[in-house]
Amino acid sequence: MNLKKYVLTSLCATVLLGVLPGCGDSATDLPASDTASAVSETGIENTDLSQDKSDVALNATEIEAVLADAQEKLQIGSASGFGWTTTADLLAQAEQALEEGELERANELSVELSKQALASTQQASYSDAQWMESIPR
């Protein structure tokens, strides 16, 4: 009985230490960095911008607001040196679709643009804080 108690105590302590922030990183030559893990690292997958388009009212004014917000984020990403080449086309296409009254398409594009704009700002923050993790050990 006592032995079981001590084994349980050990396991609990181990799990606790492993779960503590920053305690679970195992050292490798270079940290894993494929896109999927990076997306997870930057928390992009946790954003609520991936909401289904049916949740979004197809209203030109609202789409314009989404676009304006995305443009603001794009400027932040670019100013910090982390702009993406993919966003300019998306923005142009979204604006064109909006102008031509294709609200559903404009909405899809603006949501995608928002996701990318947010991701680039998150990448900038992440890189600023974590770039040293890529240094070989």
Partner 1 sequence: MRTRLWISIVGSLIAAQCFGVFAESSAQTTPKAMASEQSAAAPEDIEAQVNLDVEVFQGFFAKRFSAVEFADYRNGVYALDEASREQWLEIEEFPPYEFSVDDGETLFETPFANGKTYADCFDNGGINIRQNYPFFDETLGEVITLELAINRCRESNGEQPLGYKKGAIASISAYMASTSVDQLMHPEVASDAAFKAYNEGKKFFYSKRGQLNFSCADCHMRVSGLRLRAEVLGPALGQATGFPVYRSKWMELGTLHRRYAGCNKNVRALPFAAQSTEYRNLEYFQSVMSRGLTINGPSARK
Kindly list the distances between the CA atom of residue 47 and the CA atoms of 38, 99, 103, 121, in Å, as whole numbers in the listed order: 14, 28, 23, 13
| 48: its two tokens | 């609520």
What's at 60, amino acid-wise? A
Contact flags string 36-75 toward partner 1, x per CB under 8 A: --xx--x---------------------------------
> Which of 4, 24, 54, 101: binder of partner 1 (CB under 8 A)?
24
For 137, counting Cβ atoms within 10 Å of its Cβ (0-12 exposed, 13-18 middle, 19+ buried), the class is exposed
46 φ, ψ (degrees, to nearest 5)? -90, 0
Q: How far is the first Cα of the chain from the last one, in angstroms, to the nearest whole number?
A: 44
Q: Is 23 or 61 the residue whose CB approaches partner 1 more closely?
A: 23
- Spell out, one character per residue from 104 to 123, where the chain touches partner 1: x when CB under 8 A holds, - when not: ------------x--x---x
137 contacts partner 1 (rule: CB under 8 A)? yes
13 binds partner 1 per the rule CB under 8 A:
yes
Closer Cβ to partner 1, 33 or 51, answer by number: 33
d(CA 117, CA 106): 16
Binding region for partner 1 (CB under 8 A): 2, 6, 9-11, 13-14, 17-18, 22-27, 29-30, 33, 35, 38-39, 42, 78, 81-86, 116, 119, 123, 126-128, 131-132, 134-137
